[in-house]
Structure 1
Amino acid sequence: MSRFKLIPLCGVGILVSLLSINSNLSAQTTSTVTVVDTARVSLPQLEQQFVERNFQLLAQRYQIDIADAAITQAGLRPNPNLWFQGNLYNPNTKKFLQYGAPSQADKDAGTYNSGYYAVQLQQVILLAGKRSKLVALAESNRSLARLAFRDVMRTLHYQLYTTYANLYYDLQALRLFEDELTRQQRLLESYRIALRTGGVAPYEVTRLEVALRDLQANSAIYRAQVADGQATLRVLLRQPARTFILPTELPARRTTVPDLAIALDSALTNRPDIGLSQEQINNAERSVMLEKARRTPDLTAGLFFEKYGNAYNNFTGFQASMDLPVRNRNQGAIRSAETTLKSVTIGLENQQTVVQSDVLNAYDKLNTYYGQLNGRPDGYLDRIQNISVEATKAYNNRTIGLLDYLDKIRTYQQAQLNNINLQNNLFNTQQLLNYTTNTRFY
């Protein structure tokens, strides 16, 4: 739907020739907006600030760092376990912590009232390649985080470009109505003077007053849209609240449309959401492998030393333990992982369909707007401007009446808005094709 609309006017008149709307916004001022500071920023400058400041991009970069840390963690081996046991209190001697060497009498009697302790060192050994599978799954999670970052970048980049363009063209439309308001107010004042001398009919002044209110309503609409654009850019760039971002220019318009087959192939190759769907399959496959490996219990091996408390005084032994996979063979987790794999496999097929539909939609829109642009006859914009010039001359010479004059001026305004709207739609649709293919065609 068009962003640039003209509220039905009861009448708009001007006493002097209407100035042409200069499409170069470098000549525009921000006198219509109360600001503390105005930042004149080109689109490349804005994009650089966006990459450096945008909160969502920074937050998503941290997700990649978190995934890197998870890979490091997954590659770490289990820590060994050290166990110690000793005598706290000996009721025979009524003493605490007797760890000195037993007396010769105790040894001869086979009674050890001091010197007893036991030490055990154990290590869990992961079997069935669990550690390597954990690392592989963590690496897949990092790939997912990187693809998610690219997708966030793609979406926010599109939002940045379209917001900048909308603001650029909203300011052009606002300039059109502000210029009209200035001239309309002058004309209304001259008609009020003429009314006191009987030079014009009262209804003409009334119609001009209503027309002035319509112009003010149109101006207010575009002021609100400019405010919305500023709010969006402030969030995207984390700009100070009272800084007005003034667009300076847009890239030169290209008149060619890429081949549809190239656009579709670029989308299927470069879209990060396609990559996400593909990596989700890889991630699910690794999850299945890991859950199947977890059917094999881990081995716990260790050494044991006991002083004065076993078959002989300095007993050294080894230990080995393993859970017996009798009932729990990780059946539920394996089934869940396999079902997830089926789901994401279907999801890839659906995502490919969505991507192709997105590209076709953008392609059809782009061809429509290019057809509209190329279908305009030579000299069309000059003739639009002549409507205003010739109508003003005729009205000043009193060869046409007020109603005819108002109709011509309204035609001029609507033609100007249609041109602004077409330029904006064309630029935004070019960016839509870039967005849907994740390729810089424009």
Structure 2
Amino acid sequence: MSFLIQHRCLTRGWLPAILPPWLLLTLITLVAHGQSKAPEAPIPPVATDTLRISLPDLEQQVLARNYQLLAQRYQIDIAGASITQAGLRTNPNLWFQTNLYNPNTGKVLPLATPSQADINAQTFNSGYFAVQLQQVILLAGKRSKLVALAESNRTLAQIAFRDVLRSLRYQLYSTYANLYFDIQALNLFQAELARQQRLVESYRIAQQTGGVAPYEVTRLDVSNRDLQANIANYRGQIADEQATLRILLQQASTKFIFPTEIPATSRSLPALSAALDSALTNRPDLALTQEQINNASRSLSLERARRVPDLTTGVLFERYGNAYVNFTGLQVAMDLPVRNRNQGAIRAAELTAKSVQAGVENQQAVVQSDVLNAYDKLNAYYDQANTRPPGYLDRIQNISVEATKAYNARVIGLLDYLDKIRTYQQAQLNNINLLNNLFQSQQQLDYVTNTKFF
């Protein structure tokens, strides 16, 4: 994007000779009055309700309101409930049976005790019922293995929450800083457009007397259009950043979120070895892949235990329906593992374990690459900032001040004046971009290491 447009303007050599004194004084006054400086504080680009908020305060509100974070917290609670469920023993089974209708007597539910004569005659037309109580017993430690797997699933949910939190914080800090510096750049462009519009008006006055060629005014109009296009682009970026912050904050109102300040960028660069160690220790995505190994191992252990059939035990009481009047029996049942020995599930669990092991090695390489990339970028911006000579920013401000004085005194011509103003504007933009790049690269290093270095 071209921020500054080269303008072809009047030079000091023939300006006084063509324009009358009163018009010359008007032109100089208008141009001098239109001299702009970068605003000290950013201003919202549109007139609207404004929410002035610092980055720490905004972070607290996002952590309390963000739906994505709340949803991930619920996943932890869900996984905790699964641990409770996995630890519960199976319920016993109660079975009852009786005679619904006796066709010999025509009675429904004949539960009355038979007479002594019927008992002596071994005729039982009433009084029959059977009760059975069974309990499934999990063998091969299946219940403890189910609990262990559920605990691993909860650990995965907790790590996923940390990763969501890390990503949200980075997105918040990055968007907030982009908004802050984009508003500063927008203010600079708006001030420059206002100055050049006044300059164009003075040229239109001069054109009416024949002192300025029409194409000069046209060229200035074209440069103003270019400034307006740049302003529109920045407003579009600011609108996108506002939308991102509203989503993070879950804000339904149309208030303009106004960034009040950016935390100071530290010039202390951590050692590369410390950054790498912190990333390998603290990165939740790496911890997630490592826990997936544990999870796959526990899943494999459970599938192997499922080769052993469960045991069903029970007792049976039967009245008037078995070898003797009141029969009490002991029951033991178990499936015979003849065909189904859980072979497929075991094989799938073994392959999953191998797959996640390869994923850990790949993720370690990704983490190291991320840290090196972020470290190199931050180091480059530190070098750029540290190589600026002392008093550089003060001298940038002096460019516009001295240019205005020289132009008012007619020591320099309009072409030289605009060249100095362009230099001032580009230097201001470079400084804004450098500060943003420094902050963004610091936050990126914090993100890839999941460590608060800055």
User: What is the TM-score normalised by the length of structure 2?
Assistant: 0.92
SS in 2 for 1:123: strand
Shift of 1:168: 0.4
- Asked if the contact 2:189/2:227 (under 8 Å) is kept, the reply is yes
- Asked if the contact 2:377/2:441 (under 8 Å) is kept, the reply is yes
- Asked if the contact 1:12/1:211 (under 8 Å) is kept, the reply is no
Q: What is the CA deviation profile of residues 3-45 of structure 1, one whole-angstrom value per residue up to 9, with x for unaligned ones?
A: xx5445243994336343245x3xx332x3142x211100110
Rounded Cα–Cα distance in structure 2 between residues aligned with 1:12 and 1:380: 28
Shift of 1:401: 4.1
Aligned match of 1:11: 7
Rounded Cα–Cα distance in structure 2 between residues aligned with 1:414 and 1:128: 74
Rounded Cα–Cα distance in structure 2 between residues aligned with 1:403 and 1:163: 39
Aligned match of 1:21: 38
Rounded Cα–Cα distance in structure 2 between residues aligned with 1:221 and 1:15: 28
Aligned match of 2:16: none
**Aligned pair partner of 1:406 in 407, 414, 418:** 418
**Aligned pair partner of 2:46 in 26, 33, 45:** 33
- For the pair 1:108 / 2:120, whether they are aligned, the reply is yes
Shift of 1:429: 0.2
Shift of 1:339: 1.0
Shift of 1:217: 1.0
Shift of 1:325: 1.1
Rounded Cα–Cα distance in structure 2 between residues aligned with 1:261 and 1:109: 96
Shift of 1:241: 3.6
**Aligned pair partner of 1:316 in 328, 334, 343:** 328
Counterpart mapping for 1:18-167 below 5 A: 18-23=35-40, 25=41, 28-30=42-44, 32-35=45-48, 37-167=49-179
Counterpart mapping for 1:244-283 below 5 A: 244-283=256-295
Aligned match of 1:341: 353
Rounded Cα–Cα distance in structure 1 between residues aligned with 2:388 and 2:245: 34
- Asked if the contact 2:34/2:198 (under 8 Å) is kept, the reply is no
- For the pair 1:205 / 2:217, whether they are aligned, the reply is yes
Rounded Cα–Cα distance in structure 2 between residues aligned with 1:50 and 1:225: 21
Counterpart mapping for 1:176-191 below 5 A: 176-191=188-203
Rounded Cα–Cα distance in structure 1 between residues aligned with 2:6 and 2:365: 49
Aligned match of 1:377: 389
Aligned match of 1:331: 343
SS in 2 for 1:362: helix
SS in 2 for 1:240: coil
Aligned match of 2:27: none
Shift of 1:186: 1.8
Aligned match of 2:12: none
Unaligned runs of 5+ in 1: none
- Asked if the contact 1:234/1:240 (under 8 Å) is kept, the reply is yes
- Asked if the contact 1:123/1:302 (under 8 Å) is kept, the reply is yes
**Aligned pair partner of 1:233 in 240, 245, 253:** 245
Q: What is the CA deviation profile of residues 367-401 of structure 1, one whole-angstrom value per residue up to 9, with x for unaligned ones?
A: 00000001111222222223323333444444444
Aligned match of 2:28: none
Shift of 1:129: 0.4
Unaligned runs of 5+ in 2: 10-30
Worse-superposed segment, 70-79 or 83-92: 83-92
Rounded Cα–Cα distance in structure 2 between residues aligned with 1:164 and 1:174: 15
Rounded Cα–Cα distance in structure 2 between residues aligned with 1:80 and 1:397: 102
- For the pair 1:355 / 2:367, whether they are aligned, the reply is yes
Rounded Cα–Cα distance in structure 2 between residues aligned with 1:15 and 1:202: 22
Identical amino acids, percent of aligned pairs = 71
Report the RMSD for the aligned CA atoms in angstroms. Answer: 1.6
SS in 2 for 1:98: coil
Q: What is the CA deviation profile of residues 259-318 of structure 1, one whole-angstrom value per residue up to 9, with x for unaligned ones?
A: 000010000011111111111111111111111111110000000011100001111111
Rounded Cα–Cα distance in structure 1 between residues aligned with 2:277 and 2:102: 82
- Asked if the contact 2:280/2:367 (under 8 Å) is kept, the reply is yes
SS in 1 for 2:433: helix
Which residue identity does 1:162 align to in structure 2?
Answer: S
Rounded Cα–Cα distance in structure 2 between residues aligned with 1:406 and 1:91: 116
Rounded Cα–Cα distance in structure 2 between residues aligned with 1:183 and 1:15: 9
- Asked if the contact 2:34/2:199 (under 8 Å) is kept, the reply is no
SS in 2 for 1:15: helix
Count of aligned pairs between the two proteins: 433
Shift of 1:351: 0.7
Rounded Cα–Cα distance in structure 1 between residues aligned with 2:245 and 2:172: 7
- For the pair 1:298 / 2:315, whether they are aligned, the reply is no
Rounded Cα–Cα distance in structure 2 between residues aligned with 1:171 and 1:337: 54
Rounded Cα–Cα distance in structure 2 between residues aligned with 1:51 and 1:219: 33
Rounded Cα–Cα distance in structure 2 between residues aligned with 1:12 and 1:49: 51
- Asked if the contact 2:101/2:108 (under 8 Å) is kept, the reply is yes
Give 4+ residue runs of structure 1 displaced > 6 Å after superposition.
Answer: none
Name the CA shift for 1:12/1:303 in 2 (closer, same or farther; >3 Å).
farther
- Asked if the contact 1:359/1:433 (under 8 Å) is kept, the reply is yes
